[in-house]
A = this chain, B = another copy of it.
C-alpha cells in the first residue's frame, strides 16, 4: 500500500507520558510528512492521552504504522486510517425522518459512507428505501422470540462488511448478546436529552414533567440500555402549547440532525471511546 501525496488519520490513545508528542512528531518530521491537523487531549482523571493527527505526504501506511508502534507504549491503541468512504447498515422501524436525512445525504454524495442495506422490523419504510435503489430487508419480529429475531437480522446483515450499524429510530431493544457481536460499532439516536427520560416514550415523559426544552442524544450502544458513550446531543425549546405529539414532531428535527452530526464524526474517525465517554476531536 504505497500512497503518493496521500493522507492518513492517525489515532493514538495510551497512558500519558512525557515525550509522546515529540516521539510521534519526530517520525512525521523524519519522513517529511506534513501535519495537516493535530489535536491532543490528556484526561487528568484517568491519566490517559489521546491524539489524532492528519498527515499528508509520501508514505507507506504499514511502515509508518510499524514505526509509530515502536515508539509508543506497548499497551497503546494505534490506528492508521486512510480516508475513504466507510460502509454502514441501517436498522429502522417506521419513522422516516432519520433514515430520510441519511438517504438524502448519501444520494448527494455528502455522507462519508456507503449504505449497504437497510433492515426494517416493519415494511413501512421499504418504499422509501427502494426509491434510492438500496436493498431493504423486512425482518418481522412477529411470533418469534427476541433472540430469534436478532438471529434473522444478523443473517441479513452479516452478508455485508460494514463499519457501523446505525439505529435510525429502530424501536426495539437489542439484547446483550447482539450488542456484544458489534462492539463499538452500533450507533443509536435516542429521542431524549439523556440521561433524562431513559426508557420508553421519552416525549410522553417530557410532556408529563412539563419541561421547557427537549433534546436528542446520539450514542454508542452498549449492553446497558441508553447508557452508552454519548457522541452528540442537541436540544430545542418547547412550551406549554406542545402536547406530547407536538414534542415528538419537534423532536424529529433534532433527532435527525444529531444523528447525522454523530455519524459524520465517527465516519471521519474523530471519536475515541474511553470507558463510558467519548473524546471528540
Give which listed residue, B100, B193, B197, B241, contacts A41 with CB less than 8 A. B241
Assess A104 versus B100: contact at CB under 8 Å? Given A25-B25, A193-B196, A253-B257. Answer: yes
In the complex, the answer to whether A22 meets B28 with C-beta atoms within 8 Å is yes
Q: Which B residues are in CB contact (< 8 Å) with A38?
A: 21, 40
How far does the alpha carbon of A107 sit from the alpha carbon of B249 in the complex, in Å?
Answer: 15
In the complex, the answer to whether B235 meets A209 with C-beta atoms within 8 Å is no
A131 within 8 A of B: yes
Nearest CB to that of A104 among chain B residues? B100
Assess A18 versus B22: contact at CB under 8 Å? Given A104-B104, A107-B96. Answer: no
A39 within 8 A of B: yes
In the complex, the answer to whether A240 meets B43 with C-beta atoms within 8 Å is yes
A135 within 8 A of B: no
Query: Shortest Cβ distance from A135 into chain B, in angstroms?
Result: 16
How far does the alpha carbon of A232 sit from the alpha carbon of B213 in the complex, in Å?
Answer: 9
How far does the alpha carbon of A243 sit from the alpha carbon of B37 in the complex, in Å?
Answer: 14
How far does the alpha carbon of A41 sit from the alpha carbon of B40 in the complex, in Å?
Answer: 12
What is the interface size of chain A, counting residues whose CB is below 8 A from a CB of the partner?
A: 67
Q: Which residues of A in the span 212-240 have a Cβ within 8 Å of any Cβ on B?
A: 212-213, 215, 229-235, 239-240
In the complex, the answer to whether B210 meets A234 with C-beta atoms within 8 Å is no
A42 within 8 A of B: yes
What are the interface flags for A45-85 relative to B under an 8 Å C-beta threshold, 1 for contact and 0 otherwise? 10000000000000000000000000000000000000000
Q: Which B residues are in CB contact (< 8 Å) with A44?
A: 243
Nearest CB to that of A30 among chain B residues? B22
Nearest CB to that of A209 among chain B residues? B195
In the complex, the answer to whether B253 meets A234 with C-beta atoms within 8 Å is no
A36 within 8 A of B: yes
Q: Which B residues are in CB contact (< 8 Å) with A179?
A: none
Nearest CB to that of A26 among chain B residues? B22
A194 within 8 A of B: yes
Q: Which B residues are in CB contact (< 8 Å) with A280?
A: 212, 239-240
Interface residues of A (CB under 8 A from B): 18-19, 21-23, 25-26, 28-29, 32-45, 96-97, 100-101, 103-105, 107-108, 110, 128, 131-132, 193-197, 209-213, 215, 229-235, 239-241, 243, 249, 253, 257, 260, 276-280
25 A-B residue pairs with Cβ-Cβ distance under 8 Å, sorted by A, are: A18-B29, A18-B32, A18-B33, A18-B34, A21-B35, A21-B38, A22-B29, A23-B29, A41-B241, A43-B240, A45-B243, A96-B104, A101-B101, A107-B128, A110-B249, A193-B196, A196-B196, A209-B277, A210-B276, A212-B233, A213-B234, A240-B277, A240-B278, A240-B280, A253-B257
* Top 4 A-B pairs, shortest CB-CB distance: A210-B277, A100-B104, A196-B196, A22-B25
